[in-house]
Amino acid sequence: MNRLPEYKDILQAAECISPYAKRTPVLTSTWFNRQTGGKLFFKCENFQKVGAFKFRGACNAVMLLDKTDAKKGVITHSSGNHAQAVALAASLNGYKATIVMPKNSPSVKVNAVREYGAEIVFCENTIESREETAKKIMENTGDVFIHPYNHPDVIAGQGTAAKELLDEQPDLDVIIVPVGGGGLMSGTLIAAKSINPKIEVIGAEPELADDAWRSFKSGQIEPVLRTDTIADGLRTSLGELTFSAIQNLADDIVTVPEESIIRDMRNVWERMKIIIEPSCAVPVSALMDGKISAEGKKAGIILTGGNVDLNSLPWL
Amino acid sequence: MNRLPEYKDILQAAECISPYAKRTPVLTSTWFNRQTGGKLFFKCENFQKVGAFKFRGACNAVMLLDKTDAKKGVITHSSGNHAQAVALAASLNGYKATIVMPKNSPSVKVNAVREYGAEIVFCENTIESREETAKKIMENTGDVFIHPYNHPDVIAGQGTAAKELLDEQPDLDVIIVPVGGGGLMSGTLIAAKSINPKIEVIGAEPELADDAWRSFKSGQIEPVLRTDTIADGLRTSLGELTFSAIQNLADDIVTVPEESIIRDMRNVWERMKIIIEPSCAVPVSALMDGKISAEGKKAGIILTGGNVDLNSLPWL
């Protein structure tokens, strides 16, 4: 069923994951309001199970699997948070999980995947190497593949974050999300535009991984050219499904430099007292750098995750 | 009015500060529940205005001042969070604030006091030096002194955190708070025991600043002997009012070593994705070290503040 989910699939996902996923809080910050001239509402998916929104999509996708197929095992490739998410979702169902991880994945994420009982297979730091490695394993084992973003049930699960945010703050003018593979942005677009077509949904990505911005402008999927942005959750290219959602529904995509990402990661830690990973800071920087204006608006920001290696902070 | 506040004063404080203070969220953590065998509820005062519960007490005390007296200015001495709290409470009322700070106060706290527009006067790192310095200034200026903890309106304000926690989780078996000067513990004791006399309230302090524990055992105020614990919010001795509340109402006080405080500060950052300062970790360590058992119980923990210098983390 290689089609985009509809809003009813997001509502079904919300029900399906509700016994397992957290309903995360929405925080505000006087300081950020003052800096941006808007009213910002931060949906704290860094407090989600496995420390990231990725659990929503993985949980929904694993729950919806055919049980006979899934008994052979589930497999995915991921630089980190989707890996933990699939590992936990599989273990909740008693399924075996194998995770293909690029060699440059942060150690905190590798360790967490191990803690959830999954088997890890390392590969090179490219999307091609991830896919090939996973494919070889699947040929031997018959494992079911859970794609990190280009998967209708994953996209439906990610859309539940925006739905919850809008349950709590129905009159947002704009929602800003980071774009990696585009799963969160696709789910957010479908949820938000179904609830209120007037809500703007804007993607934010690092200048060093601006593939979604280039794809949005050119009208075809442009691959990510480098994988060295500090925003390690955003080093992937769009898939066919996520590109089609973004192409048809997105209002805009903007990009921000590495210095801004590090500065605003620290600003969020210092001013809001919450731990976010670099990818999370990208939409915040889009506002702080004036790439998106929040002046006089109510803006929702999905803070995507909080898995950071506390031994190596980017500003030290 | 040098008497302990009653529960009605806490209710009045809750109303008085409600337009200014945040109603902070209560978070849970599967990982900490598994480690301690209990159900833990973390009241996140690190998300409070000025990043600490201290705003509750200072706000209440400044709001209740006689306006003619307060126009001369308000003054206090504090190693940090009470300083920021008085500075902000004064500025909200258009009063001038002077803050006496020990020379070893964390720079992040000194800078924050400056941001709120208060004047800072530095003193030696002893309680005697703080008091003398403040006294000299008051003789010249007529400033009104807002004691950081030995003040009925401050204690009433601090009690509103426990009241909110119990509004949300009425069937807690035990509440654990850190003890510095004892303002939070006094307010918590009065609130919790008035709401339900069966709730245990236990104080936790660093072994290196175990004055409240010694006072509780000896039956008289014992001074703090060293000021070098990493828990910089807990380097003060009890006052007459706070000692009397603790002596009459507390169930127990326990102490924890420095290594545990650093370990659990990091555990909270890593597992809960929130930033807490070392003082906050002290009640968490009391549970993690088994000094207090949460086995089969519902335990409330007041996380007191999140003002940390992000350039110097204790585990690096």
Q: Which of B81, B273, B275 to mutate to test the interface with A (most CBs of A within 10 A)?
A: B273
Cα–Cα distance measured from residue B297 to residue A248, given in angstroms and rounded to the nearest whole number: 52
Cα–Cα distance measured from residue A25 to residue A85, given in angstroms and rounded to the nearest whole number: 19
On whether ipTM exceeds 0.95, the answer is no
A71: tokens are 């008994």
Q: Which of A92, A111, A273 to mutate to test the interface with B (most CBs of B within 10 A)?
A: A273
* Minimal Cβ distance to A266: which of B51, B272, B310: B310
Distance from B316 to chain A by nearest Cα, in Å? 7
Mean pLDDT over the full length of chain A: 95
Distance from A166 to chain B by nearest Cα, in Å? 19
Cβ pairs A/B, distance under 8 A: 47
B51 to A316: CB separation less than 8 angstroms, yes or no: no
B275 to A276: CB separation less than 8 angstroms, yes or no: no
B313: tokens are 């983390």
pLDDT at A1: 52
Give A108's contacts in chain B (Cβ within 8 Å): 270
A310 to B270: CB separation less than 8 angstroms, yes or no: yes
pTM, entire model: 0.94
- List the strands of the sheet with B74-77, edge to edge: B119-123, B97-102, B74-77, B144-145
Give A168's contacts in chain B (Cβ within 8 Å): none
Q: Where are the alpha helices (DSSP H) in chain A?
A: 7-17, 30-36, 54-63, 67-70, 81-92, 107-115, 127-141, 152-168, 183-195, 211-218, 240-249, 258-272, 278-288
Cα–Cα distance measured from residue B152 to residue B168, given in angstroms and rounded to the nearest whole number: 25
Provide the CB-side half-sphere exposure for B186 (13 A, CA).
30
Distance from A275 to chain B by nearest Cα, in Å? 5
State pLDDT tens for residues A60-110.
999 999 999 999 999 999 878 999 999 999 999 999 999 999 898 878 778
Q: Where are the domains of chain B?
A: 7-52+151-303, 55-145
State pLDDT tens for residues A139-175.
999 999 999 999 999 999 999 999 999 999 999 999 9
Q: Which CATH architecture has domain A7-52+151-303?
A: 3-Layer(aba) Sandwich (3.40)
Q: Which CATH architecture has domain A55-145?
A: 3-Layer(aba) Sandwich (3.40)
Chain A residues within 8 A (CB-CB) of chain B? 25, 27, 30, 46-47, 49, 51, 108, 266, 269-270, 272-276, 306, 310-311, 313, 315-316
Give B275's contacts in chain A (Cβ within 8 Å): 269, 273-275
Per residue of chain B (316 residues), give pLDDT as tens: 579 999 999 999 999 999 999 999 999 999 999 999 999 999 999 999 999 999 999 999 999 999 999 999 999 998 789 999 999 999 999 999 999 998 988 787 788 899 899 999 999 988 889 899 999 999 999 999 999 999 999 999 999 999 999 999 999 999 999 999 999 999 999 999 999 999 999 999 999 999 999 999 999 999 999 889 999 889 889 999 999 999 999 999 999 999 999 999 999 999 999 999 999 999 999 999 999 999 999 999 999 999 998 998 999 8
Burial of B106 (0-12, 13-18, 19+ CB in 10 A): buried
Cα–Cα distance measured from residue A15 to residue A60, given in angstroms and rounded to the nearest whole number: 9
A273 to B51: CB separation less than 8 angstroms, yes or no: yes
Chain B residues within 8 A (CB-CB) of chain A? 25, 27, 30, 46-47, 49, 51, 108, 266, 269-270, 272-276, 306, 310-311, 313, 315-316
DSSP-assigned states of every residue in chain B: --S---HHHHHHHHHHHTTTS----EE--HHHHHHHSSEEEEEEGGGSGGGBTHHHHHHHHHHTS-HHHHTT-EEEE-SSHHHHHHHHHHHHHT--EEEEEETTS-HHHHHHHHHTT-EEEEE-SSHHHHHHHHHHHHHHH-PEE--SSSSHHHHHHHHHHHHHHHHH-TT-SEEEEE-SSSHHHHHHHHHHHHH-TT-EEEEEEEGGG-HHHHHHHHTSPPPP-----S-GGG-S---HHHHHHHHHH--EEEEE-HHHHHHHHHHHHHHH-B---HHHHHHHHHHHTTSS--TT-EEEEEE-B----TT--TT-
**CB contact at 8 A, B277 and B149:** no
* Minimal Cβ distance to B46: which of A51, A273, A310: A273
Beta-strand relationship, A74-77 and A144-145 = parallel
Per residue of chain A (316 residues), give pLDDT as tens: 579 999 999 999 999 999 999 999 999 999 999 999 999 999 999 999 999 999 999 999 999 999 999 999 999 998 789 999 999 999 999 999 999 998 988 787 788 899 899 999 999 988 889 899 999 999 999 999 999 999 999 999 999 999 999 999 999 999 999 999 999 999 999 999 999 999 999 999 999 999 999 999 999 999 999 889 999 889 889 999 999 999 999 999 999 999 999 999 999 999 999 999 999 999 999 999 999 999 999 999 999 999 998 998 999 8
As a whole number of Å, the end-to-end CA separation of chain A is: 47
Nearest CA in chain B to A46: B273
